[in-house]
A and B are shown apart, each in its own frame.
Chain A
Amino acid sequence: MTLPDDRRYSREHEWIRPEDGDGVIGLTQFAVDELGDIVYVELPAIGATFTQFASFGVVESVKAVSDLFAPASGVVVAVNEELRTRPELMNSDPHDAGWICRITLAAPAELDALLEAPAYAELIGSE
């Protein structure tokens, strides 16, 4: 499994990629492999605000319902509308086309509390 090093990772298996002062959020390959086929994503509303590590949505696989946890605080400025009809994108391309939402970061320094790719690789290697 190759982990992109252009982003940070949470212990709840979300990634956040900084982009022009915003952060793009998704689930990691490890997480989607654990979940199995994803069949439904409850996306946050545009304009919704959330705080770091709070639940901001739900992802459902064939067998299970899992909360999504915000890797950083912010305001939702875009969501991946394609996931409404093609949730399987989260399985096939979790680190890119399967992104979930984009937020304006309320506190960019929060990202320092997240893991870089090697540390996250170590975390999932031990799970």
Chain B
Amino acid sequence: MTTADLRRTPLDAVHRALGARMVAFAGYEMPIRYTSELEEHRTVRSAVGLFDLSHMGEIGLVGPDALPLARFALVSDPGTLEPGQAQYSMLCAPDGGVIDDVIVYRTDPGYMVVCNAANRDAVVSHLAALLAGAELDVGVEDRSSQTALVAPQGPRAAELLAGLTDIDLGTIRNYRSMRGQVADVPCLVARTGYTGEDGFELFCATQDAQRLWEAVFRAGGQFGLLPCGLASRDTLRLEAGMPLYGNELGRDANPYEANLGRVVKLDKGDFVGRAALADIQRQGPRRLLVGLVMQDEGIARHGYPVVEAAGAGPSAEIGVVTSGSVSPTLGQRIAMALIRSEAAEIGRSVAVIIRDRPCRAEQVKLPFYRRPRPAEERTT
């Protein structure tokens, strides 16, 4: 794919003016970093970072049967959502493989499914195929190209936004959303994110994106805001133990392997993939996602083989690294890996083959990082 074939977000000119390094990602030209991805990462942990996530897909489900479709297509139960509430979910194939992981928002009227940019077409056609054989009165609207997404993330995000909106942000708890104006731009203000930090995702019309970004960016100066690219987003979500589709999740990986069994509601009634997922749940997954902290030198990367630790018998391959990098917060080299269930055990050592050399790593509990929460939040 050449640069000419890539889509640009409505904030493309803003990124270039800020000196972003642009890369091809999921069919878009996206900022990978502006200055230093380590500094951007630390800024999200300590202050506030601003992301352009306009490449993400937004799919509306509207009509009287929006909920039945959502309940049939998703493995979670959106029927439990209160107005404005959101939940993490997945669409699975009949064999239990993951088509995409998404966040579904109850937007009244209807629902909004936010999916990965790379899977947008697959999700839309999957939903259309489900509708084709069913007598449901519901429309599937792909609003991705009319929707921009600007995400201030970090412990100071709420303070920053409070100066730009009349919404009482205290009423928007984690995984909740509300319509309103931010810097006079009509938005869906959602307290969601992919960084392991408090923060917001602001969905707005593409033509308002630049006005919204610039207002947040300007107001963010006094809170230490930095624009942040996809490189820091990836290390932030890795520290937070969040799966990335194509790494931890895919058609050949099911939710139970990724420790996401709690998301699957087998008792909600029929849905796509239910029989296969019930079998996997009964028998237990063959592989499990584990956290690794490297003990020897080297960084485990996506695709590197995992073997039993030296001295623990023949070094047969027991799994594969799904994501790996440095943890700027912990100062360690960390990874996630899918390994055979019988070898998955916190505290047990394995080895990652890095350039033909086995390097010791210890299995640890996920996530690697959990944000400190104020006392009043812990009860929610």
Q: Tell me the complex Cα distance, A39–B300, Å.
A: 13
Residues B299 and A63 in contact, CB atoms below 8 Å apart: no
- Cβ 8 A contact of B234, one of A37, A42, A63: A63
- Determine which residue in A36, A58, A62 has the highest number of CB atoms from chain B within 10 A of its CB, and name it: A62
Q: Which residues of A contact B333 (CB under 8 A)?
A: 40
The distance in angstroms between the C-alpha atoms of A37 and B38, with both chains bound, is: 7
Query: Nearest CB to that of A33 among chain B residues?
Result: B21
Q: Say how far B354's CB is from chain A's closest CB, in angstroms.
A: 9
Q: Does B326 contact A (CB under 8 A)?
A: yes
Q: Using Cβ atoms and an 8 Å threshold, which residues of chain B touch A65?
A: 299, 301
- Which residues of chain B have C-beta atoms less than 8 A from A40's C-beta? 297-299, 326, 333
A62 touching B231 in the complex, CB below 8 Å, given contacts A39-B299, A40-B298, A40-B299 = yes
- B301, A62: Cβ atoms closer than 8 Å: no
Judge whether A96 is part of the interface by a CB distance below 8 angstroms. Answer: no
Complex Cα spacing A109 to B333, Å? 41
Task: List the B side residues contacting A36 at CB < 8 Å.
Answer: 21, 32-33, 36-37, 231
A62 touches B355 (CB 8 A): no
Chain A CB within 8 A of B235 CB: yes
Q: Is B206 an interface residue (CB 8 A)?
A: no
Distance from B112 Cβ to chain A, minimum over Cβ atoms (Å): 30
B247 contacts the other chain (Cβ, under 8 Å)? no
Contact, CB under 8 Å: A39 / B33: no
For A64, the closest partner residue in chain B by CB is B301
Pick the residue among B37, B298, B355 that contacts A63 (CB under 8 A). B37
B119 at the interface (CB under 8 A from A): no
Q: How large is the interface on A (under 10, 10 to 19, 20 to 34, 35 or more residues)?
A: 10 to 19
Find out whether the CB atom of B301 lies under 8 angstroms from the CB atom of A39.
no
Residues of B within 8 A of A42 (CB): 297-298, 355
User: Chain A residues near B231 (CB, 8 Å)?
Assistant: 36, 62-63
Q: Mark B21-54, 1 if CB is under 8 A from A, else 0.
A: 1000000000011001110000000000000000
Residue of A with least CB distance to B41: A62
B235 near A62 with CB under 8 A, answer yes
> Contact flags (1/0) for A30-55 with B, using CB distance below 8 Å?
00000011011010000000000000
Residues of B contacting A39 in the complex (Cβ-Cβ under 8 angstroms):
38, 299, 325-326
Other than A40-B297, A62-B325, give 19 A-B pairs with Cβ distance below 8 A. A36-B33, A36-B37, A36-B231, A37-B37, A37-B38, A39-B299, A39-B325, A40-B299, A40-B333, A42-B355, A60-B299, A62-B38, A62-B231, A62-B235, A62-B326, A63-B32, A63-B37, A65-B299, A65-B301
| Interface set of A (CB-CB < 8 Å, partner B) | 36-37, 39-40, 42, 58, 60, 62-63, 65, 91
| 9 cross-chain pairs, A with B, having the tightest CB-CB distances, nearest first | A39-B326, A37-B38, A62-B37, A63-B231, A37-B36, A37-B37, A60-B299, A62-B231, A36-B37
Q: List 12 A-B contacts (CB under 8 A).
A: A36-B37, A36-B231, A37-B38, A39-B38, A39-B299, A39-B325, A40-B297, A40-B299, A42-B298, A42-B355, A62-B37, A65-B299
